[in-house]
Amino acid sequence: MANRKKIIAGNWKLNKTAGETRSTILELRNKLAGLATRAEVVVFPPFVSLETAVDAARETVLKVGAQNVFWEKSGAYTGEVSVTMLETLGLEFVLLGHSERRVLFGETDATVARRLEAVLDGKLTPIVCVGEVLEERESNRTGEVLERQVGGALRNVAPDHIGRIVVAYEPVWAIGTGKTASPAIANDAHTLIRSSIAAMFGRSAADETSILYGGSVKPENTASLMSESEVDGVLVGGASLDAASFAEVVRAAG
């Protein structure tokens, strides 16, 4: 890994009430206290628990992010939240284009691109998720899919903004299935993603972009994934819900 930002992120999805969020973060702070890591450790609770999460994480190494955001600033958009709303809560990160958003809620590369533009107008760090489904991998279309998703999501990004973007490679067949991509598969996919970024923004911008791996990451497979040259961090779902196992992932990531 070059001089890239190392990030260990926990996506809590539709899990934990505000009270559970507070107790998990307090437990995590204890487990991480004294751990020397140069990684940024971020949790992504549901919207309604974000304020509680920021409060519980205050004066610790832990950062907080949101699982999504809408592109408009305000208006008649029932159920949506804006970038400013997230920023004023004290958040630092936001996930965009998670496969569950794409598969279950109709997100497309075009809507991810609009969200990304809105985020880059503000101060949050976006983590843009991409990844192929099993059928695409089995028909040797992984490269084409990753290129389309990266190209589609980043198409309106100004060259001076590329340095703020983090990408997460999350093969859909590995999410929540217990089937982790092998370190070699992850590394190859990250190389493809970096090449797509290089084609759009140049080699040095691509070399500076952090690319995380996500898909059934656990304490036992973190070190081998992180030992790959192109893997700059992990995005963890299930194993981030329990403070002890997420702390173990952070420890194993080094």
CA distance 169 to 41: 18
170 is catalytic: yes
- By C-beta, is 166 or 236 nearer to ligand PEP? 236
CA distance 94 to 86: 9
Per CB under 6 A, 211 contacts ligand PEP = no
Stretch that binds ligand PEP, among 34-42, 49-57, 194-202, 215-223 (CB under 6 A): 215-223
Stretch that binds ligand PEP, among 62-70, 111-119, 194-202, 211-219 (CB under 6 A): 211-219
How many residues does the structure list for the chain? 254
Closest CA to 173 of 109, 226, 204, 216: 216
- 45, 97, 171, 237: which one contacts ligand PEP (CB under 6 A)? 237
Other CB atoms within 10 Å distance of the CB of residue 204: 9
Is-contact 225 183, C-beta < 8 A?
yes
Smallest distance from the beta carbon of 51 to ligand PEP, in angstroms? 23
Using CA atoms, how far residue 95 sits from 70, 92, 99, 165, 223, in Å, is 11, 11, 11, 11, 23
Per CB under 6 A, 45 contacts ligand PEP = no
Per CB under 6 A, 235 contacts ligand PEP = yes
Site string for ligand PEP, 146-165 (x = CB under 6 A): --------------------
Phi, psi of 24 (to 5 degrees): -65, -40
190 is catalytic: no
Per CB under 6 A, 97 contacts ligand PEP = no
Residue numbers of the site for ligand PEP (CB under 6 A)? 11, 170, 175-176, 214-217, 235-239
Which active-site residues does the annotation give?
98, 170
